[in-house]
Chains A and B, each alone.
Chain A
Amino acid sequence: EAQVTQNPRYLITVTGKKLTVTCSQNMNHEYMSWYRQDPGLGLRQIYYSMNVEVTDKGDVPEGYKVSRKEKRNFPLILESPSPNQTSLYFCASSWRAANEKLFFGSGTQLSVL
């Protein structure tokens, strides 16, 4: 089944404790992206990747890191999480470009205490 898989689904952590949210897609998509969704603010892009070893900042990249060492995987890293990073996070992928149909993962609800 074609899908974007995110883990974990829920995560509660404390301020400053490094964490990684994994994202993997099995559709051979070149484009992958991370979004956060907050009430009243909608979906905002954090980082995106056009292909392996090619990543770039989105609209809200501060406090986040990403890597794209393999085509299928695009982990999101929070080196020192803070409470303002409490949010619902979505990984998404598309065939080649951002302006094509995006397929979303099931989401990660992160709470930073």
Chain B
Amino acid sequence: QKEVEQNSGPLSVPEGAIASLNCTYSDRGSQSFFWYRQYSGKSPELIMFIYSNGDKEDGRFTAQLNKASQYVSLLIRDSQPSDSATYLCAGGSGGGADGLTFGKGTHLIIQP
């Protein structure tokens, strides 16, 4: 059974600080990883994806992947109140047919 684990939170971070979201996965065959942001009652929106070990930066967001430790993280710099949402981590295998396995999400609250 493939699993993606996230701390459900809530994770409370002051405005302007760095928010750090973490995720672990069980399937060593997973090769692609995604971070989705979901506002309450809305659909998930892709904000970052990463395929290789190391860091990937896009604006205020940095995704980090460590395949040896089966660990994925998302850093949000200069956190804004609009970043308050649930963040879903997802992993995909290399086969292509299996669906993404989603974590249950971490609820992030940015305090003004």
Contacts and interface: CB of A to CB of B under 8 A. Distances in A.
Interface of A: 33, 35, 40-45, 48, 50, 56, 58-59, 90, 96-107, 109
A5 to B, nearest CB: 11
B52 to A, nearest CB: 14
B96 to A, nearest CB: 4
28 contacts: A41-B104, A42-B102, A43-B44, A43-B102, A44-B102, A45-B100, A48-B97, A48-B99, A90-B43, A90-B44, A98-B96, A98-B97, A98-B99, A98-B100, A99-B32, A99-B95, A101-B34, A101-B49, A102-B34, A102-B44, A102-B90, A102-B100, A103-B46, A104-B43, A104-B44, A104-B45, A106-B42, A107-B42
Nearest to B31: A99
**Number of chain B interface residues as a range:** 20 to 34
Contacts of B43: 90, 104-107
